[in-house]
Amino acid sequence: MQLLAQQLVNGIALGSIYALFAIGFSLILAKMGILNVAHGTFATWGALSSYWLVSEHGMNFWLALVAGVAFAGLLGVLSDLLAFEPLRRRNAGVFAPIIASIGIWIVLLTLAEAFSGPAATSYPTESVPTEPIRLFGLLMLPAQVISVITLVLVVTAIHVLLTHTRFGAAVRAVAVDPRSATIVGVNARRTLVTVAFLAAAIAGLAGILAALSDNNVSSSLGEALLLKGFAAVVVGGYGDIRGAALVGVAIGVLEVLSAQYISSGFRDAITFGVLLLVLVVRPQGLFGERQLVRA
Amino acid sequence: MSTTAWLTTLQFAGVNALFALAIYASLWTGVLSLAPIFFGAVSAFTFGYLAGVTGLSPVLCLIIGVALGAGLGAVTAGLLVRLESHYLAMATIAMVLIGRVVILNLPEYTGGATGTLVPGDLGTWAWLIGTLVVAGYVMSRLAGSRFGLAADAVREDPAVAQTLAISPRRIQFVGFMLSGALGGAAGVFQASFLQYIGPDTFYTHLGFVSLAAVVLGGAFYWLGPIVGAVVFTILPELLREPMGEYDRVVTGVLLVLIIIYMPRGLVDVRRLRLLKARWWRSRASSPSDDGPEPTDVAGPARAEAAS
Amino acid sequence: MTQLLPDRDTVEPGTELAVDIVGLTKAFGGLRAVDDVTIRVPRGRIHGILGPNGAGKTTVLNMVSGFIQADAGRIEVFGADVTRMQPFRIARQGVGRTYQNIRLFPGLTVLETVVAGAYMQRSSTIAGAILFSPGERRERREMRERATELLDKVGVRAGSSALAETLSYGDQRRVEIARALATNPRVLLLDEPTAGMNDAESEEVGRLLLDLRDLGLTLILIEHNMRLVEEFCESVSVMNSGALLAEGAPTWCLEQDDVKEAYFGKRSDAARIATLRRARRGESGT
């Protein structure tokens, strides 16, 4: 019982990172209609850039975290300006943005590999307290607590932003039709760029937290997140970021529990099995409202 | 670069052309899919297992690989073809990523992280060129056939295709099978040339290069992927000296640039037809004049803008 | 609501119905785009659907060809219920169509476009194509010949190896008709077949409609060209704001006050247009 509770806590902490990543991924998919497979590399670069600031320049971890998040957001904005916007202007169809995002993925991944080198690295141990916190007989690492708190804050903030503000209304208008949105006075360009920044910045945040929890900063960090994030968005449906976030947490729990009770080797396979099952049985997602199956 | 290095590069260009044709086969029916990389992985590891454990002849393994790929394509299509195009594309990318996990976790069949050695009997020019010629012939015969025109219709406008009594899912199912057969063959050849396969052999990088080949060469005519594969395999080799480990960056940047500025690729039959129409019109309007008149130049351009 | 001529019902009892639309309803959000519409078209008739922009005419056609699912009501084609069928199955029941905003396939030539329409008229297989079988080659040849005939019939002047998308507006519409005819339809739905054409071209389309009717086709067209409607349609349904306003003979329908008001806005405009119409009819009557 004690073990199960402890594993649940670990699962929720791991899942928080997946959920965080899924939020940004679903934001771009739902609001901009772009399946951005380069999203994982934004997370990688968030982690790499903050690591570089901490280890090479001795920057305070929290300042480096902010800088890393901003850098990831900047990559998102650049992707939008240099690749997605020209395609949008040309009405380039469904596949062109996916192909362009694969191009961005290649560029950012190659640069990340070259930048990080083959050796595994991690943030200096003094970055964040490592002394476990004891609560009701359960152990929690500070990094885990940070992940969960961050997720709760980000989900709340983004949800309020999208549903209760003028900006949220503008995003919804642009998501439906950028041209008509412009006519009713929404600055479509600025709205899209802001969404691109937010989504990529959240990915960067997820990347930094993943690197912190794993004690490992690597160039392949984003790929794992991409898959988990995709699974969360598929299963949760992309109409509401809360659905994706909830499923992201659930995937983390599922992984930790299956590693504990079934087989650690097939941890990922079980997640993907669930993903495949949902894709086949319920393609609109568990909480999906939008029609994702072709008529 | 030495001659042998060039020949090796060209051989891999040939294998990439097979993968690119496999991606083209489903793109032809309006589906963006990286699944051929997964099909190739399955057929290659089956080949490695069969050849290593049961000593089956490589040629038989090639046939099994093609059949296995087609079968897997059918199963994949049966499960996934209902999905909306974004999800379908991502699901096939997920297949590639999951494939690596499966390979790593089945060490008794795949060799796990260390990989497997495979016989190189099929790794010869004769086999490669022979297979490419067969694949090219099949694709060229299908272009303009009953299936080919239906595939064109489904890719360009699935709704209109339906009012012509064409079932898009049926066409896409066939596209997936074709894609699987080509991917299966490509996997066996990749294994034969490398004589070693591991968890990273059929991973994202191969998928990226093959997709880039299709996009650069042209996704609207079967010759496109072959031309694109040759260019995209040779280009990084040429860039390796000046750029070192950054050669792949060029692939990525090119992919973005091409999809923006040359979305129909190098081999673009539509543009050739437009140019031909312009040439005929200029001949018709000014029989005595060699140069085309300004109005003729504006004609097709206007039509293009209107479409 | 619906006005019917008492002495001239649109459908005499005993005639076979090609298309039977009963109580068709479709709402988008809160807006009733099509509201309880009944249109019954007997075999071998040219039937027009009229109405101002946004009246729901194209929505009706889209429901008949299966693009949109009806909320309520029933659609039958030659007695077969097609209400919940997928579009390609409806097409296999013999329903062909064209589009208001021309939808040709980019990159295909005129000939390829029409041959693509003959999908169900062909029986060759992939194996036949790959094995270079004589049957497959003969079929390709026959399809090209048939497509050429169809293009000739609908009056496409451009060469058949030209890209369909580069043709003149009128020719593009005619290629669309040829593509629909290649499916060997029993019912042809035409969405504004003469939009963007001049009078002479429209007249040609009208005569083509008569030819097709004489070959046994049933035609339903959305049309704004009143002269064409009066000259070639045997019956019409007039729609406004999703509802059926009137049906019957075209001339009679167009004389109805609420039709005039719905169609032309203010009554004074309606009167002016009616005068114009009479003047033009007199002019062409010579």
| CA torsion, ordered C114, C116, C119, C123, to nearest 10 deg | 100
The residue that leads in pLDDT, C238 or C264, is: C238
Q: Using a CB-CB distance cutoff of 8 angstroms, which residues of chain B are in contact with residue A87?
A: 259-260
CB contact under 8 A, A106 and B84: no
B252 Cβ under 8 Å from any chain A Cβ:
yes
B243 Cβ under 8 Å from any chain A Cβ:
no
- pLDDT given at position A174: 83
Q: In the predicted model, what is the mean pLDDT of residues A225-234?
A: 86
> Measured between CB atoms, which of C67, C117, C122 is closest to B159?
C67
Res B302 pLDDT > 70: no
Q: Which residues contact C101 (CB under 8 A, 6 or more apart)?
A: none
C99 Cβ under 8 Å from any chain B Cβ:
yes
Q: In the predicted model, what is the mean pLDDT of residues B277-301?
A: 53
Q: Which residues contact C205 (CB under 8 A, 6 or more apart)?
A: C173, C174, C193, C194, C197, C228
Which residue from C minimizes the CA distance to B147? C126
What is the pLDDT of chain C when averaged over all its residues?
87
Complex prediction ipTM = 0.86
- pLDDT given at position C153: 92
What is the pLDDT of chain B when averaged over all its residues?
86
Longest Cα–Cα distance of chain C, Å, equals: 70
Res B96 pLDDT > 60: yes
B143 Cβ under 8 Å from any chain C Cβ:
no
Domain borders along chain C are: 1-94+185-286, 104-184
In terms of Cα–Cα distance, which of A79, A104, A69, A106 is closest to A211? A69
- Name the least confident of A173-187, A191-205, C23-37, C172-186: A173-187
> Measured between CB atoms, which of B164, B220, B303 is closest to C91?
B164
Q: Which of residues 209-228 of B touch C (CB under 8 A)?
A: 220
CB contact under 8 A, A100 and B263: no
- pLDDT given at position B108: 85
- pLDDT given at position A120: 63
CB contact under 8 A, B83 and A94: no
Q: Using a CB-CB distance cutoff of 8 angstroms, which residues of chain B are in contact with residue C183?
A: 163-165
Res C279 pLDDT > 70: no
- pLDDT given at position B38: 96
Q: How confident is the model at residue C281 (pLDDT cuts 50, 70, 90)?
A: low
Res A219 pLDDT > 50: yes
Rounded percentage of chain B residues whose pLDDT exceeds 70: 92
Which residue from C minimizes the CA distance to B143? C129
Res B140 pLDDT > 60: yes
> Measured between CB atoms, which of B141, B145, B164 is closest to C183?
B164
The residue that leads in pLDDT, B148 or C245, is: B148
- Report whether B124 contacts C103 (CB < 8 A): no
> Measured between CB atoms, which of C116, C166, C179 is closest to B152?
C116
- Report whether C24 contacts C75 (CB < 8 A): yes
CB contact under 8 A, B211 and A279: no
Chains that touch A (3 or more CB pairs under 8 A): B
Instruction: Give the three-class secondary structure for B147.
Output: helix
Res C165 pLDDT > 80: yes
Each residue of C93-114: pLDDT tens digit?
999 999 999 999 999 999 999 9
Which residue from B minimizes the CA distance to A85? B260
- Name the least confident of A174-178, A244-248, B64-68: A174-178
Res B39 pLDDT > 60: yes
- The correct CATH number of B3-261 out of 2.60.40, 1.10.10, 2.40.50, 1.10.3470 is 1.10.3470
Q: Using a CB-CB distance cutoff of 8 angstroms, which residues of chain C are in contact with residue B263?
A: none
Q: Using a CB-CB distance cutoff of 8 angstroms, which residues of chain A are in contact with residue B263?
A: 90, 92, 96
Q: Give the DSSP letter string of A125-182.
A: TTSS--SPEEETTEEE-HHHHHHHHHHHHHHHHHHHHHHHSHHHHHHHHHHH-HHHHH
Number of helices (H), then strands (E), belonging to chain A: the values are: 12, 2
In terms of Cα–Cα distance, which of B16, B32, B290, B24 is closest to B128? B16
Structure tokens given for A116: 């990080």
Res C6 pLDDT > 70: no
Q: Give the helix/strand (H/E) hosting C38.
A: strand C31-42
Q: In the predicted model, what is the mean pLDDT of residues C74-91?
A: 95
Q: Using a CB-CB distance cutoff of 8 angstroms, which residues of chain B are in contact with residue A226?
A: 97
- pLDDT given at position B286: 57
A266 Cβ under 8 Å from any chain B Cβ:
yes
- Name the least confident of A12-16, B189-193, C233-237, C257-261: C257-261
- Report whether B166 contacts B153 (CB < 8 A): yes
- pLDDT given at position C13: 60
Res A185 pLDDT > 60: yes
- Report whether B154 contacts B85 (CB < 8 A): no
- pLDDT given at position A269: 74
Res B114 pLDDT > 50: yes
B82 Cβ under 8 Å from any chain C Cβ:
no
- pLDDT given at position C25: 94
Each residue of C40-77: pLDDT tens digit?
999 999 999 998 888 899 999 999 999 999 999 999 99
> Measured between CB atoms, which of A102, A113, A279 is closest to B208?
A102
Q: Which of residues 153-172 of B touch C (CB under 8 A)?
A: 153, 156-157, 159-168
B108 Cβ under 8 Å from any chain A Cβ:
no
- pLDDT given at position A172: 83
Each residue of C119-140: pLDDT tens digit?
999 988 888 899 889 999 999 9
Q: In the predicted model, what is the mean pLDDT of residues A186-214?
A: 92
What is the pLDDT of chain A when averaged over all its residues?
85
Which residue from C minimizes the CA distance to B154? C105
Q: How confident is the model at residue C259 (pLDDT cuts 50, 70, 90)?
A: confident
CB contact under 8 A, B145 and C140: yes
Distance between C266 CA and the closest CA of chain B, angstroms: 35
- pLDDT given at position A170: 87
B205 Cβ under 8 Å from any chain C Cβ:
no
- pLDDT given at position B304: 37
Q: Which of residues 51-80 of A touch B (CB under 8 A)?
A: none
Q: In the predicted model, what is the mean pLDDT of residues A216-232?
A: 86
Q: Using a CB-CB distance cutoff of 8 angstroms, which residues of chain A are in contact with residue B32?
A: 95, 98-99
Residue C21 has phi, psi (to 5 degrees) of -105, 120
Structural domains of chain A in order of their starting residue, each with its CATH number = 2-121+129-281 (1.10.3470)
In terms of Cα–Cα distance, which of A176, A163, A182, A196 is closest to A85? A196
Query: For the whole model, what pTM was predicted?
Result: 0.86
Res C263 pLDDT > 60: yes
Which residue from C minimizes the CA distance to B151? C116
Res A62 pLDDT > 70: yes
Distance between B252 CA and the closest CA of chain A, angstroms: 4
- pLDDT given at position B290: 43
Which residue from B minimizes the CA distance to C184? B164
Q: Using a CB-CB distance cutoff of 8 angstroms, which residues of chain A are in contact with residue B156?
A: none
In terms of Cα–Cα distance, which of A258, A200, A180, A184 is closest to A78? A200
CB contact under 8 A, C105 and B163: no
Q: Using a CB-CB distance cutoff of 8 angstroms, which residues of chain B are in contact with residue A280?
A: 79-80
Q: Among C165, C176, C177, pick the best mutation site for testing chain B contact (most B Cβ within 10 A).
A: C165
Res B178 pLDDT > 90: yes
Q: Which of residues 194-253 of A touch B (CB under 8 A)?
A: 223, 226-227, 230-231, 234
- Report whether B151 contacts B29 (CB < 8 A): yes
Instruction: Give the three-class secondary structure for C73.
Output: strand
Rounded percentage of chain C residues whose pLDDT exceeds 90: 59
Each residue of B248-272: pLDDT tens digit?
888 889 889 999 998 888 888 888 8
- The correct CATH number of C1-94+185-286 out of 3.40.50.2000, 3.40.50.300, 3.40.47.10, 3.30.70.20 is 3.40.50.300
- Report whether C108 contacts C163 (CB < 8 A): yes
Each residue of A137-166: pLDDT tens digit?
788 888 888 999 999 999 999 999 988 888
Distance between B101 CA and the closest CA of chain A, angstroms: 7
Res B303 pLDDT > 70: no
Q: At what angle do helices A39-57 and A95-116 cross, to 10 degrees?
A: 20
Q: How confident is the model at residue C272 (pLDDT cuts 50, 70, 90)?
A: low
Res A246 pLDDT > 50: yes
- Report whether A147 contacts A209 (CB < 8 A): yes
CB contact under 8 A, B263 and A86: no
